[in-house]
Chain A
């Protein structure tokens, strides 16, 4: 019998993803033997850092986990604290939170669609190379991102790591007039977002389907962003309180990130594809129209087409922000009073790249005794690896360089935020 032919495809530094990770794929006799997505950012000690701190500090501390989705961290931690402490916030505060989150979706999706993902489809090694031949598209992406920044500045106090958010509401509520100044830029951004959908839908896509369960939040008649129940396309429908009964995390040696699984060990996917599959009928009429115009089906299980789904969500985020501004009345107080309680609180929101779950245990004076944070990229890591396996099987006749490129693109389809996903490695010491 002849010796098996081995082929290894490696990328030591993944470009155009948030954070630092690497990938390696091993083929034996042309079939995938092993696929690894390695995450090796220095472990981040946020969960441990939170212990002993006041529950009021969690939004600001956790927002520092990520410069791309700080609002997601703030909102998930706030949901958890308010869940435990029994806080009901007023309608204007609810509106401001959703509006702030729309700002983050616009910022994050514009960055990913234009600067990180589009170059893959147009055959450029990065945004700079793409900008030389597609300056108008890049201008459009920057303008969109700028509008997201403006929303974040007016409501959150600045464009990255907002400082105006607190448990119970905000330190200061913006005036109606301040928000009305955002209407014109948002209307222009909505136009740009519609153009973005048409532009990305014109890219070439390999026809592929993600098989696993799709998990997202559902929030009544709204397209879920800042709150909701956890649902799936296979019948899951639970309150965030029961998250721990249906999902678990395990540590894998090669990665500083934990891998999430469903309780039965199976893989699931969250993020734009899952949200669109489960809630497309709750999108605004304009977002649905544009999706229909470009033939984006519901559900869309093609991870390569996630760029089109993100673009549709960009239209929605602009549209929804405009609706929220029209509905906004200045609140009597910028924040509700919050009294700490002993116990456990849970919070979950839709970060731009998927579900972000927080769980906190507090003592009676509001000191954090324990914290658990499950970021979207940890939830998606298994699905990404499974998808990579299929991508390699399908494209294994390509040269190493071309196969590497397809693999990198397949990873970027999920907009992974590796900075968010890193956890401290559990260390086991064996003594003889």
Chain B
């Protein structure tokens, strides 16, 4: 499970927060990685895994706190939620890059938490916080760890 985001840009940290909370619940049966969006780092992070579950913040215009689920195993992420970034490679492009060079896990699931505030700061908005809570349960379910509390 990989939580992606910038810790200092408000709700952009939602994916990182999910990773931290999942980590405290799973006691080692799931490899949890927190990182900023950097292609070689992401591709390394899922190296050797059969399934990768990624969590990132998104801004698609949906109701803040919405948790989207996408299966990127066989097809690219939708561009509405994961707009291509002008800052080098985004999460969608990194997945496609890995697919092209044969370094994508067998199964890739991406959760996108709809954020509200992406300005400077370390606090999550109440909506993002609600999304994070729901995403934690969804990730645990996806990874088959639902019983953990």
Contact = CB atoms under 8 A, between A and B. Distances in A.
> A and B: real partners?
yes
Interface of A: 13-20, 64, 67-68, 111, 115-116, 126-128, 131-132, 135, 138-139, 142-143, 145-146, 149, 159-161, 419
A290 B100 CA distance: 30
A19 B85 CA distance: 9
A30 to B, nearest CB: 31
B101 A15 contact: no
A116 B88 contact: yes
Interface string B36-48: 1011110110000
Nearest to A148: B40
Interface of B: 8, 36, 38-41, 43-44, 84, 86-89, 93, 96-97, 100-103
Contacts of A111: 88
B87 A149 contact: no
Contact of A138 (B38, B44, B86, B97): B97
B39 A160 contact: no
A115 B40 CA distance: 11
Given A127-B97, A128-B96, A131-B100, A160 B44 contact: no
Contacts of A116: 88
B125 to A, nearest CB: 19
A116 B88 CA distance: 7
A328 B140 CA distance: 45
A419 B97 contact: no
Contact of B36 (A14, A139, A160): A160
A20 B83 CA distance: 14
Contact of A115 (B8, B86, B88, B103): B88
Given A17-B86, A18-B87, A19-B86, A131 B41 contact: no
A364 B66 CA distance: 51
A135 B96 CA distance: 12
A14 B8 CA distance: 25
Contact of B40 (A64, A67, A131, A146): A146
B102 A135 contact: yes
B97 A13 contact: no
B104 to A, nearest CB: 11
A381 B43 CA distance: 34
A159 B38 contact: yes
A111 B8 CA distance: 23
A328 to B, nearest CB: 25
A64 to B, nearest CB: 7
A94 to B, nearest CB: 28
